[in-house]
Amino acid sequence: MSGDWIYLDYAATTPVDPRVLEAMQEHLAIDGRFANPSALHPAGRSSAAAVQKAAEAVAQLVNCDPGRLIWTSGATESNNLAIQGVARARSHHGKHLVTMPTEHKAVTDVYKALEADGFELSWLAPEATGVLDPAALEAVLRPDTQLVSIMYVNNETGVVQDVASLGRICREHDVAFHVDAAQAVGKLNVDIAALNADLVSISAHKLYGPSGIGALYVRKRVGLNPDPLMFGGAQQGRLRPGTLAVHLIAGFGAAAMLARESLVDDFAHVKALRDRLWQGIRSTPGLTLNGDLASGYPGILNVSAEGLDGESLLLALEPLCVSTGSACNSQSQEPSAVLRALGVPDEQAESAIRFSFGRMTTEAEIDAAAELYGQAVRSLRALMPEAA
């Protein structure tokens, strides 16, 4: 526990592991390897070697060729580069693009922007479980379909998609397949070689690395080169120009190495905590689980409390730090589009709270959270005239 709050919002951002911070500190000051990795002098070459080492660590974590990773500012940029880049590069072949309403806004908003630019979209609805039936994907593909984008683990519910099967269908139909794996990498055993994915988005600050750095994996394949979003230099094959942020990349690499070592332990840890939290709150009247305990990623628990409003609940839960859905939705009062697509009624979606846990979460924090949640639900219900 940090003292001032209880942090259960790991799906929004994770704290940096102290060992990651140490790796980053080597790349900032005059006594470190801070130089521009594009420079040909010894200091530059030393930075370039650090970047290469980080690429190898990230590549090992996801089983891909390190040479196929493009550094970006995070998964938002990776998604934009993948989706806009491939859609624009392939637009002379066709303008039909496929995704789901349960995607992160860093996918859905890019799709909507492309629609405004003349692309045609198909939105695939999930089953009630949140999972997409591969047959539904196959049914929507057309000769002019260029790109399918489906996330690996959902950031609000923890729902896990069968990306390998979806990728196989895309491969058979010669359609590019992008996977937003921001919530999966470092948490599940993500094996890009087995996924049939052409483009994969990764973010360091979801796996105990720093924010502001991510990567896009781009498979080497004819006709798959995305158009760049930016121009201004020869870095990264001109696909993403700009001076590389060596300290952030080194932090990302260190985080990837740690994630690989602790993947199994981290998973068992969050699963035990998730089960403990659910045991601790499940007897509260009028609760509904959004998502599926058996098949979902256990680092996320999404719960609705009948009749309550998420914003009020969030305030009543202080000093507990949880989310009312996706952090990116917290500015708007709209019920979550993700829960809506799962068929969750609006009244139930409005009271949804996302608890998310990670490597640093303790049992004491979970017990305190369960206590706070039960109290908050009871006290808010006591204020409602129609409450039992």
List interacting residues with ligand PLP (CB under 6 A).
74-76, 104, 106, 151, 155, 180, 182-183, 203, 205-206, 214
The smaller minimum CB distance to ligand PLP, of residues 64 and 207, is found at 207
Q: Which among 11, 15, 74 has a CA at the least distance from the CA of 324?
A: 11
Query: Is 183 in contact with 152 (CB distance < 8 Å)?
Result: yes
Query: Is 176 in contact with 148 (CB distance < 8 Å)?
Result: yes
Q: Is 64 a catalytic residue?
A: no
The smaller minimum CB distance to ligand PLP, of residues 205 and 269, is found at 205
* Angle formed at CA 300 by CA 368 and CA 135, multiple of 5 degrees: 160
- Minimum separation from the CB atom of position 363 to ligand PLP (A): 25
Query: Is 178 in contact with 206 (CB distance < 8 Å)?
Result: no
* Angle formed at CA 179 by CA 100 and CA 288, multiple of 5 degrees: 50
Nearest-CB residue for ligand PLP = 74
Q: Which among 153, 198, 136, 193 has a CA at the least distance from the CA of 171?
A: 198
- Minimum separation from the CB atom of position 105 to ligand PLP (A): 8
Token representation of residue 128: 């009630």
- Minimum separation from the CB atom of position 155 to ligand PLP (A): 4
Token representation of residue 83: 């989706």
The CA distance from 36 to 145, in Å, is: 41
The smaller minimum CB distance to ligand PLP, of residues 102 and 196, is found at 102
What count of residues does the chain have? 388
* SS3 (DSSP) at 304: strand
List the catalytic residue out of 64, 170, 321, 328.
328
Burial of 69 (0-12, 13-18, 19+ CB in 10 A): buried
- Minimum separation from the CB atom of position 383 to ligand PLP (A): 34
The smaller minimum CB distance to ligand PLP, of residues 91 and 189, is found at 189
- Minimum separation from the CB atom of position 153 to ligand PLP (A): 7
The smaller minimum CB distance to ligand PLP, of residues 274 and 354, is found at 354
Phi/psi at 288 (5° precision): -130, 140
Catalytically active residues, by annotation: 328
